[in-house]
Amino acid sequence: MVSLRFSFIAALGTFAIATPTDRSALLVHEHRAQPARGFVSTGPAPSDAELTLRIALNPNNIAGLESELYAVSDPNSSRYGQHLTPEDVAEYVKPTSDALSAVTSWLQTNKISATAISPAGDVLQFKIPVSQANSLFNTEFSVFTHSTTDETTIRTLQYSLPVELSAAVAYIHPTTTFSRPFAAPKSQPLPSNSKRDIDPTCADITTISCLQVEYGIPTTSATQTNNVLGVSAYDNEFANFNDLKQFLAEYRPDLPATTKFDVELLDGGSNTQITGFAGVEASLDIDYTVGVASGVPVKFISVGPLNNDTVSGFLDQINALISDPSRPTVLTTSYGADEEDMTLPVAQGLCNAYAQLGALGTSILFASGDGGVAGNDFECTTFVPTAPSTCPWVTSIGSSQTILENFTKNNFSEIGAAFSSGGFSNYFEAPAYQKGDVDAYISSLGDTYSGLFNTTGRGFPDVSAEGVNFVVVSGNRTGLVSGTSASSPVFASVIALLNDELIAAGKSPLGFLNPFLYSPAGRAALNDVTDGKNPGCGTSGFNATVGWDPVTGLGSPNYPKLRTAVGLS
Ligand SMILES: *[C@@H]1O[C@H](CO)[C@@H](O)[C@H](O)[C@H]1NC(C)=O
Ligand SMILES: *[C@@H]1O[C@H](CO)[C@@H](O)[C@H](O)[C@H]1NC(C)=O
Ligand SMILES: *[C@@H]1O[C@H](CO)[C@@H](O)[C@H](O)[C@H]1NC(C)=O
Ligand SMILES: *[C@@H]1O[C@H](CO)[C@@H](O)[C@H](O)[C@H]1NC(C)=O
Ligand SMILES: *[C@@H]1O[C@H](CO)[C@@H](O)[C@H](O)[C@H]1NC(C)=O
Ligand SMILES: *[C@@H]1O[C@H](CO)[C@@H](O)[C@H](O)[C@H]1NC(C)=O
Ligand SMILES: *[C@@H]1O[C@H](CO)[C@@H](O)[C@H](O)[C@H]1NC(C)=O
């Protein structure tokens, strides 16, 4: 595993030199020993290439925001459900005036004009040529080429900042963080185009009705028009309206034939609707939100390639939603990366953005990844946690698989799906809401896998849902898809339907879910999955067990029990 020593080195200040443009000392701010797996340096970046850089300033009081997040998300709190406003969260996240003036004066000295790109003004963006960036940050930007995709990206392994900016700045991006999303669901890429009959035993394929029976999900239509379920999309994928129509006609014939979804485009996202070009991931996510969350308004939020970078795309999406008064109450994302691809400050910056959106009342769900304990690294020698699942302020969704021998309304069982990623963060410690669960699981392991994972890290996933053999219509073809990419939309739909009922009853939507899910009432409303394992890195992976485990988390949803647990009668 890449050694993660950048902040450590910055703290020691091992490096101090003077530059011609600025006489102040420079300190190494971030460093990584080697590029992210798969990338090799193929020479210096052209000196006249223009870089679009983001400078993120440290928040003035992130601990304050975290305590507010708990206050509105813990069912035991007297302020449960009293979500914050964007102005409230900005007060915690905005930089101190000292930090802002240090950065502003440095920008002026270097004749750089920057624009704030976050609501709290904590992230500024500017463009400079590689030559200027090399000199300002005492670095050498290089071209890195990915060995399998041939994709090129300009990055560096280390950069420095003037000493007076050290405390003010969280990170400059893109520098040492590499962007390598796991986009593709683990799928048979729609091999056939045969009509899939509904299998009443749910033995060969998972359809909407299987999920409704299995989890007790209501088929009646939601009533609230302002309870939006957001579906994140990247990689220029779009979902085709005709594909959805075909899917619903086959698998939800009881829904109105006019049932559609809204589209929002950010960073140059596209929605061409060209037949045959729909993305499988996008189709899966739309089929199992529009199809499961009956009548809930679904918004497909496509973040395009303008910033050439997934991490920036993640941040841009959250910043856009923070400012959007009709922001979704639930957001599901089936994209992510290995935690180690991001540096700690970048992972923290993203996580802080999720804390803000959570405090505003949005439940943020991420697929945990499809590589078992290996994440995306199939040559791993230690387990590879995935991001943003390891951020404590998101809900990470793993996959289960139904044991199908005798599928009846009251008799089914699930095991953890072998691909379901889970494990422990190297960046974020286990938060209070799960500390007891994580400690108990780790102590049950004894010495098994000692040294392969971090015993103090945040455990993921938090919960799970069915994720195997989902029938999908994409590009006018029908096929089967498996992955945590399937599970996250299902769990998100369950939460969206609960929110619909809560709002109809004059209550708040659920917002950040984890303090509720890990509470005695929350966990009792989940189906504990106690069998299965997630192999990887030459091991058989972790076991699903009684209680929380790093394969299926606390388990899968039981809608009738969740209804009661959230206070609906
Ligand atoms: C919340 O309150 C319940 C009962 O009132 C208690 O059992 C539970 O431990 C409390 N949880 C936390 C996180 O304080
Ligand atoms: C993205 O890449 C294109 C082509 O290399 C380049 O012209 C553009 O400036 C880049 N955008 C950003 C925000 O870096
Ligand atoms: C549930 O199904 C299993 C087979 O999968 C069967 O052995 C068991 O008897 C069934 N239980 C009930 C209560 O139907
Ligand atoms: C399946 O479950 C039903 C109802 O519980 C039971 O009558 C039947 O025998 C079961 N079949 C098998 C093969 O277990
Ligand atoms: C293990 O996780 C903790 C956070 O819980 C972190 O501070 C520490 O650096 C991690 N250790 C390694 C070796 O990554
Ligand atoms: C979709 O496929 C069917 C055959 O499976 C074909 O009849 C129909 O014309 C196709 N629709 C489009 C829009 O290509
Ligand atoms: C998983 O369970 C099997 C069977 O009980 C056991 O042999 C193995 O040691 C367990 N592995 C871990 C990592 O707990």
| Residue 18 confidence (pLDDT) above 60 | no
Does residue 529 contact residue 522 with C-beta atoms inside 8 Å? no
| Residue 24 confidence (pLDDT) above 60 | yes
**Which residue in 270, 358, 367 sits closest to 321, CA to CA?**
358
Query: Which atom in ligand 4 lies closest to the alpha carbon of residue 410?
Result: 5
| Gap between the Cα atoms of 417 and 399, Å rounded | 5
Class of domain 188-427+459-565: alpha beta
190 — pLDDT class (breaks 50, 70, 90):
low
CA of 553 to the centre of ligand 4 (A): 29
Query: Which atom in ligand 6 lies closest to the alpha carbon of residue 476?
Result: 1
Which pLDDT belongs to residue 182? 45
5 — pLDDT class (breaks 50, 70, 90):
very low
The least confident of 157-171, 184-198, 342-356 is 184-198
Which pLDDT belongs to residue 200? 66
Q: Is 125 in the pocket of ligand 2 (CB under 6 A)?
A: no
Through-space distance between the first and last CA atoms of the chain, rounded to whole angstroms: 50
* Long-range pairs, 132-138, Cβ under 8 A, ≥24: 133/51, 133/53, 134/47, 135/19, 135/20, 135/21, 136/19, 136/21, 136/22, 136/110, 137/26, 137/161, 137/172, 137/175, 138/17, 138/19, 138/26
Which pLDDT tens digit goes with each residue over 269-285? Answer: 889 999 878 889 999 99
Mean pLDDT of all residues in 146-171: 94
188 — pLDDT class (breaks 50, 70, 90):
very low
Which pLDDT belongs to residue 42? 96
Which pLDDT belongs to residue 180? 65
9 — pLDDT class (breaks 50, 70, 90):
very low
Judged by DSSP in three states, 441 sits in: helix
| Residue 453 confidence (pLDDT) above 50 | yes
Ligand number with the minimum distance to the CA of 403: 3
Higher pLDDT residue, 412 or 105? 105
Q: Is 275 in the pocket of ligand 6 (CB under 6 A)?
A: yes
Higher pLDDT residue, 22 or 318? 318
Which pLDDT belongs to residue 196? 57
Residues with catalytic roles: 281, 285, 485
CA of 70 to the centre of ligand 7 (A): 35
For the chain, the average pLDDT equals 91
| Residue 455 confidence (pLDDT) above 60 | yes
Q: Is 528 annotated as a binding residue?
A: yes
Query: Which atom in ligand 7 lies closest to the alpha carbon of residue 542?
Result: 13
Which pLDDT belongs to residue 446? 97
Judged by DSSP in three states, 314 sits in: helix
Q: Is 324 annotated as a binding residue?
A: no
**Which residue in 564, 563, 546 sits closest to 555, CA to CA?**
546
Which residue's CA is minimally distant from atom 2 of ligand 2? 308
Residue to substitute in 404, 408, 411, 412 for testing ligand 3 pocket (most ligand atoms within 8 angstroms of CB): 411
Residue to substitute in 405, 406, 408, 412 for testing ligand 3 pocket (most ligand atoms within 8 angstroms of CB): 406
429 — pLDDT class (breaks 50, 70, 90):
very high
Q: Please give all residues whose beta carbon lies within 6 A of any atom in ligand 3, as ranges.
A: 405-406, 411
Which pLDDT tens digit goes with each residue over 518-556? Answer: 999 999 999 999 999 999 999 999 999 999 999 999 999
Percent of the chain's residues with pLDDT above 70: 91
The least confident of 111-120, 148-157, 249-258, 532-541 is 148-157
23 — pLDDT class (breaks 50, 70, 90):
low
| Residue 205 confidence (pLDDT) above 60 | yes
Ligand number with the minimum distance to the CA of 276: 6
- Which residue do the tokens 């000295």 mark? 109
Exposed/middle/buried for residue 429 (C-beta within 10 Å: 0-12, 13-18, 19+): middle
Q: Is 97 in the pocket of ligand 1 (CB under 6 A)?
A: no
306 — pLDDT class (breaks 50, 70, 90):
confident
Residue ranges of the chain that CATH labels 3.40.50.200: 188-427+459-565
The residues facing 397 across adjacent strands are 367, 463
Which pLDDT tens digit goes with each residue over 231-245? Answer: 999 888 899 999 999
Which residue's CA is minimally distant from atom 10 of ligand 7? 543
